[in-house]
Amino acid sequence: MHVVITGGAGFIGSNIAARLVEEGHTVTVLDDLSTGQRGRLASIEVEVIDGDVRSFATVEKSVNNADAIFHLAAVVGVPYAMKHRWDSVTTNILGTYNLLTVARRRDIPVFIASSSAIYGKLSQSTPVVETDDVVIGNTHIASWTYSYAKLAEEQLALAAVQEWSASVKIGRFFNVIGPGQSGAYGMVVPRFVTRALRGERLPVYGDGTQTRTFADIEDVVSAVMTVWERGEWGAVYNIGGQEEVSINDLAHRIIHKTQSRSTIQHVAYDKVFGTGFEEPTRRRPSTAKLQALGYTPRYTLNDTIIRVVASMREKAGDLRP
């Protein structure tokens, strides 16, 4: 198969590219390299097109001979998307519109990368299932921009399914972590590990009792492949980790695994994001639908923290175990 991956120079896209190449597919990456890095693809044989998914002409040219499209290009990370609202909204809406339009003409199946952010402030004690309501906050609050943008992307895809039976599968990623992820755009694990390795304080926003789950990038790539190979057309699948952990606990585990002298510093949301910042207090996916396809994760959260620490130490030339 010839697969085009939008956002393929990003964290998740480059790992999907590596897996597809390993399986014998030909891969073209379409990425504007805004947060992506060519270096991530250095050891993989792929064609890289430096282009913007918001340009119809670029998308048309890039997916010309594709047998499949994996659409991951997006302005990612809530803090980063808050600063780049226009890019966040337009990349998701125009990019997805362009891809689906070309895919329709050429009859190309598409995998769409959505996000747990679409559930908004839903903070229930039971794991979130794909059919749960979404509860997104006030449209003026910038921290919800990413949620609205990803929701619009999903709606475009679901409308295409209804309108012309588009061959689309949607994966809703919950926090994905692993070696090679950048902390520059607000992702918590690489930020904490970097600071712990330097012996700096770990800034925990709010009181740190908010919970999340984290999935290993290797497991996420396997989950995407499972959805792609065995998922239903037109269906949505949660893709995420199972172990719910508070951000306080996450920070302590990272301090422990890095044998760091760092301490935790609680920082009020307002100080970092300005007034009105909102986020869910709990977030855990039900992956029953995904597991029914035969998917089983390999890594625990502790395994992945160890993998991230090792890769960051190696990058810094620090080879302590």
Ligand X SMILES: NC(=O)c1ccc[n+]([C@@H]2O[C@H](COP(=O)([O-])OP(=O)(O)OC[C@H]3O[C@@H](n4cnc5c(N)ncnc54)[C@H](O)[C@@H]3O)[C@@H](O)[C@H]2O)c1
**Cα distances (angstroms) measured from residue 30 to each of 14, 18, 193, 257:** 11, 15, 30, 37
Q: Does 175 bind ligand X (CB under 6 A)?
A: yes
Chain centroid to Cα 307, Å, comes to 18
For 75-86, b/e burial (b = at least 16 CB within 10 A) is bbbbbbbbebee
Selecting among 97, 146, 237, 295, the annotated active-site residue is 146
Q: Does 290 bind ligand X (CB under 6 A)?
A: no
Could you tell me how many residues of this chain bind ligand X (CB under 6 A)? 30
Q: For ligand X, which residue of 5, 17, 113, 168 counts as binding (CB under 6 A)?
A: 113
146 classed as catalytic:
yes
Q: What single DSSP character describes residue 70?
A: E
Q: Which is nearer to ligand X, 175 or 262 (CB)?
A: 175
Q: For ligand X, which residue of 176, 197, 236, 250 counts as binding (CB under 6 A)?
A: 176
**Cα distances (angstroms) measured from residue 19 to each of 14, 31, 109, 177, 179:** 9, 18, 18, 17, 15
Q: Which range in 32-40, 191-199, 254-262, 274-282 contacts ligand X by CB under 6 A?
A: 32-40
CB of 6 to ligand X, least distance (A): 6
**Cα distances (angstroms) measured from residue 307 to each of 175, 260, 283:** 16, 16, 23
Q: Which range in 19-27, 34-42, 60-68, 135-143 contacts ligand X by CB under 6 A?
A: 34-42
Relative to beta strand 245-246, strand 211-212 is antiparallel
Q: How many Cβ atoms are within 10 Å of 23's Cβ, its own excluded? A: 10
Q: Does 115 bind ligand X (CB under 6 A)?
A: yes
Q: Does 33 bind ligand X (CB under 6 A)?
A: yes
Answer yes or no: are the C-beta atoms of 30 and 53 closer than 8 Å. Answer: yes
Q: Does 7 bind ligand X (CB under 6 A)?
A: yes
Q: Does 247 bind ligand X (CB under 6 A)?
A: no
- Tell me which residues are annotated as active site: 146
Task: Give the footprint of ligand X on this chain (CB under 6 A).
Answer: 6-7, 9-13, 31-36, 52-54, 72-76, 91, 95, 113, 115-116, 150, 173, 175-176
